[in-house]
Amino acid sequence: MRNLFALIAGSFFGAGLFVSGMTDTTKVQGWLDVFGAWDPTLAFVMGGAMIPMFIAWRLTRVRNTPVLGGTFPPPPKPELGRNLIIGSTMFGLGWGLAGLCPGPSIASLSYGGMGTWVFVAAMISGMLLAPMLRARLDRVVPAE
């Protein structure tokens, strides 16, 4: 049952990324490019996605447990931390460079051509390297 609902959730996510045009790298880079031909689409996608999510977070306060059992995610940690800033900055640089982030890169695997596969392979390599880099960061300046 959990797998079925994961498939349904993933299907909505994949369909949304596809119809919104977010797998088109020029639309993502167009949104980031405030000095070029600015493309507002991404703001509508993010804003639109937050509407059902906002309602869903409200509903987690009414129901105390997920429909399929288990527990809801804990409240967000209040502290920001250096890793959040460094990681998000690195992510943003890569996002702008190729116009791809994790979701759309997976959604476009079937039609994005070799370039998408190269990106995803590099992204997976990066994810494998992350724990090592995080440990190194902690050695240079110990995390608070």
Partner 1 sequence: MEQDWIWGLIGGLLIGTGGAVYLLANGRIMGASGIIGGLVDGSGKDTKWERLFFLAGVVLLPILLMPLYGSVDTHVTNNIGVLVAAGLLVGVGTRIANGCTSGHGVCGISRLSLRGIVATVFYILAGGISVVLFRHILGII
CB of 77 to partner 1, least distance (A): 6
Q: 70 burial class (0-12, 13-18, 19+ CB within 10 angstroms)?
A: exposed
Identify which of residues 111 and 139 has a Cβ nearer to partner 1 in the complex: 111
Helix (DSSP H) and strand (DSSP E) numbers for the chain: 6, 0
Task: Please state the closest distance from residue 144 (CB atom) to partner 1, in A.
Answer: 15
Angle between helices 25-32 and 41-62 (to 10 degrees): 90
State in angstroms the smallest separation of the CB of 117 from partner 1.
9
Residue 66 contacts residue 46 (beta carbons within 8 Å): no
For residues 68, 46, 95, 41, the Cα torsion angle rounded to the nearest 10 degrees is 140
Between CA 22 and CA 29 the distance in angstroms is 10
Cβ at position 105, least distance to partner 1 in Å: 8
